[in-house]
Amino acid sequence: MSKEPRFEGNIFYHPCSVESCMRDGCIGEGVNLLKGRLGRWYCMPHYKELEHKRASEKRVIQPVQEKQGRLF
């Protein structure tokens, strides 16, 4: 099954981008549906993991940016 976010009919599918993960992504990055950019999506645990990894790399905690969309 493809990990790419996609539309099937009117339904927007956005599975978590992590290969072994079967959950739906609930947080998307670089998403702009009006411009046809479907972005990359992560489930909550994987997004937190990613955020944590980035924070420890940069030694700063980034505020949530506008380009990130939250569904829940």
**Contacting positions for Zn ion (CB under 5 A):** 16, 18, 21, 23, 43, 46
Residue 51 CB, shortest distance to Zn ion, in Å, is: 13
Looking from the CA of 29 toward its CB, the CA atoms found within 13 Å total: 13
Amino acid (1-letter code) at residue 67: K
CB 68, min distance to Zn ion, A: 16
Closest to Zn ion by CB, 7 vs 24, is 24
- Angstrom CA distances, 19 to 3, 5, 9, 22, stand at 8, 13, 25, 8
Q: How near is the Cβ of 66 to Zn ion at its closest, in Å?
A: 23
